[in-house]
């Protein structure tokens, strides 16, 4: 079959500093992956096309790229599943990382963040003579996270990183979870404490993009949520994120809906001098909302039938 690869290219030595599109039309077999097609171009048509790849079997993590706008490992992406009616597919470098050349990005920021979560086992006390005794269930569970091949697909498509490059991001946080969840690691408290700070677990907006992008089923967002639970469970509840969760829950429990007016002040902490600048920053927003008659009601009334909502809460809380 005939396909057209529309490749976003970049030549750092051209002096223009601009990416450009180049189309390659070629005959391929039906079973070809996007990587097979890219290599057919690089090997036989245009040896200047630059990309990273190695194992061809979704384990080395080299070949993550954007295909039709979404990050994928191109070695396990079948062409037939991504071409349009005209046989066309768009291939671009990963997002949220600087482009070095063509489809190659600079992964240094990615690795800096992985390094920042101190990704090595930190046990306490003397090592046992033999192996650590650990339940197999815990190990099987961790193997699911350990399956992360550090390809960067999740980071590419993370919507938080798009607006705040300080966010540790899904890959580094999933890596952190791998240690917090490890029964042999004894640094949970310090890990969770630093992960609760700005740029950490509470900065995820739960957009699910990372879960969708991950080619290995690691589901980074689920790991971030699990880290939040663990942080709260060890008493790290005096953070903006944890308070936000509490305020949200309280509000729905008591009125059946969200009390938007008080959400921000109570999340920030009403009597917290440190939160004053943030509160002041909210004032113009509130003023604009008022002018456009969009200010949430100051008096917050429960919805009819709120007792049913409370009953749900009771049932859930009792189950715990």
Closest CA to 68 of 25, 22, 6: 6
Residue 238's CB is within 10 A of a number of other CB atoms, namely 10
Q: Which of 6, 59, 264, 309 binds other proteins (CB under 8 A)?
A: 59
Binder of other proteins out of 2, 21, 22, 55 (CB under 8 A): 55
Transcribe 206-261 into DSSP letters.
---HHHHH-TTS--HHHHHHHHHHHHHHTT---SHHHHHHHHHHHHHHHHSS--HH
- How would you write 124-141 as a 3-class SS string? CCCCCCCCCCCCHHHHHH
Going by C-alpha positions, the residue among 233, 223, 228, 218 that lies closest to residue 195 is: 228
Residue 135 touches other proteins, criterion: CB under 8 A: yes
Instruction: Tell me the closest approach of the beta carbon of residue 19 to other proteins, in angstroms.
Output: 14
Count of residues binding other proteins (CB under 8 A)?
55
Q: What tokens were used for 88?
A: 């066309």
Site membership for other proteins, residue 165 (CB under 8 A) = no
- How many whole angstroms separate alpha carbon 127 and alpha carbon 88? 57
User: Binding to other proteins by residue 51, rule CB under 8 A?
Assistant: yes
56 binds other proteins (CB under 8 A): yes
Shortest Cβ 117–other proteins spacing (Å): 10
**Is 9 near other proteins (CB under 8 A)?**
no
Only one of the segments 88-96, 115-123, 225-233, 270-278 lies at the binding site for other proteins (rule: CB under 8 A); that segment is 115-123
Q: Which is nearer to other proteins, 69 or 217 (CB)?
A: 217
Query: Which one of 69, 85, 120, 125 is in contact with other proteins (CB under 8 A)?
Result: 120
Per CB under 8 A, does 8 bind other proteins? no
Under the criterion CB under 8 A, does residue 62 sit at the interface with other proteins? yes
Residue 297, Ramachandran bin (φ over 0: left; ψ between -120 and 50: alpha; else beta): beta
C-alpha span between 279 and 74 (Å, rounded): 46
* DSSP reduced 3-state for 88: strand
- Does 105 contact other proteins by CB under 8 A? no
- Contact positions toward other proteins, by CB under 8 A? 11-13, 31, 39, 42-44, 47-48, 50-62, 76, 100-102, 104, 107, 111, 114-115, 118-121, 123, 127, 130-136, 139-140, 142-143, 146-147, 149-150, 182, 184
């Amino acid at each position: 079959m005939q396909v057209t690869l529309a490749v976003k290219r970049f030549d750092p030595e051209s002096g223009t500093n601009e990416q450009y599109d180049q189309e390659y039309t070629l005959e391929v077999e039906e079973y070809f992956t996007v990587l097979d097609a890219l290599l057919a171009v690089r090997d036989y048509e245009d040896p200047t096309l630059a990309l990273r790849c190695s194992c061809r079997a979704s384990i080395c993590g080299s070949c993550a790229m954007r295909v039709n706008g979404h990050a994928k490992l191109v070695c396990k992406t079948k062409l037939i599943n991504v071409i349009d009616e005209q046989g066309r597919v768009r291939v671009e470098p990963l997002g949220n990382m600087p482009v070095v050349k063509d489809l190659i990005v600079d992964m240094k920021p990615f690795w800096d963040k992985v390094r920042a979560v101190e990704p090595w086992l930190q046990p306490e006390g003397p090592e046992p003579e033999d192996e650590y005794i650990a339940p197999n269930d815990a190990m099987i569970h961790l193997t699911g996270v350990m399956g992360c091949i550090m390809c960067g697909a999740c980071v590419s498509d993370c919507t938080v990183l798009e607006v705040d490059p300080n966010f540790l991001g899904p890959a580094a946080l999933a890596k952190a979870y791998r240690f917090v969840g490890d029964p042999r690691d004894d640094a949970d408290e310090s890990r969770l404490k630093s992960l609760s700070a700005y740029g950490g677990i509470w900065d995820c907006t739960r957009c699910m993009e990372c879960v969708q992008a991950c080619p290995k089923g690691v589901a980074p967002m689920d790991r971030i949520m699990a880290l939040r639970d663990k942080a709260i469970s060890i008493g790290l509840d005096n953070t903006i994120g944890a308070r936000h969760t509490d305020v949200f829950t309280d509000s729905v429990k008591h009125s059946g809906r969200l009390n938007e007016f008080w959400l921000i002040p109570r999340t920030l902490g009403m009597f917290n001098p440190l939160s004053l600048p943030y509160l002041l920053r909210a004032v113009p927003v509130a003023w604009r909302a008022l002018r456009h008659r969009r200010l949430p009601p100051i008096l917050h009334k429960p919805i009819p039938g709120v007792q049913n909502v409370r009953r749900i809460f009771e049932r859930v809380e009792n189950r715990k």
